Amino acid sequence: MTTLRFDGDDRRDLLDTLIEAVRITDETGERPSVEVGGQVYAGYELARLAGLLPDYDLREHHAAKVAEMFELPQQGYRHTAYNLAIRAAQNVAANKQRRALMRKL
């Protein structure tokens, strides 16, 4: 299992870590755990981790990154982080379903 680490002071940059978590779940089908300031959040706690982000408008570079992942424009850091946590859970569920279908064939 992969563990991502965030050591920054600006919680807005935690969004980059969540984006990486979604990419990992898309590739591997497993949610990574994330360490923030010495506290480790399990992969299933990504929504809890999203609550750590401030409720500010997205900076341009973050808005551009998430625009690649979502059809609709995202509204703020915290809301976007929750959407990323949901996307990670969807990736895990889709991967499990694919594996179950492959076993039946």
Q: Tell me the per-residue pLDDT of 31-88, one tens digit each, with 9 for 90 and over.
A: 999 999 999 999 999 999 999 999 999 999 999 999 999 999 999 999 999 999 999 9
Report the pLDDT value the prediction gives residue 19, as an integer from 0 to 100: 96
Report the pLDDT value the prediction gives residue 79, as an integer from 0 to 100: 96
Nearest Cα to Cα of residue 20 among 88, 94, 103, 89: 88
Report the pLDDT value the prediction gives residue 100, as an integer from 0 to 100: 86
Distance CA 22, CA 24 (A): 5
Report the pLDDT value the prediction gives residue 59, as an integer from 0 to 100: 94
Distance CA 49, CA 97 (A): 26
- Which of the pair, 102 or 38, is modelled with greater confidence? 38
Report the pLDDT value the prediction gives residue 98, as an integer from 0 to 100: 86
Full-model pTM: 0.90
Report the pLDDT value the prediction gives residue 96, as an integer from 0 to 100: 87
Token couple for 50: 């999203």
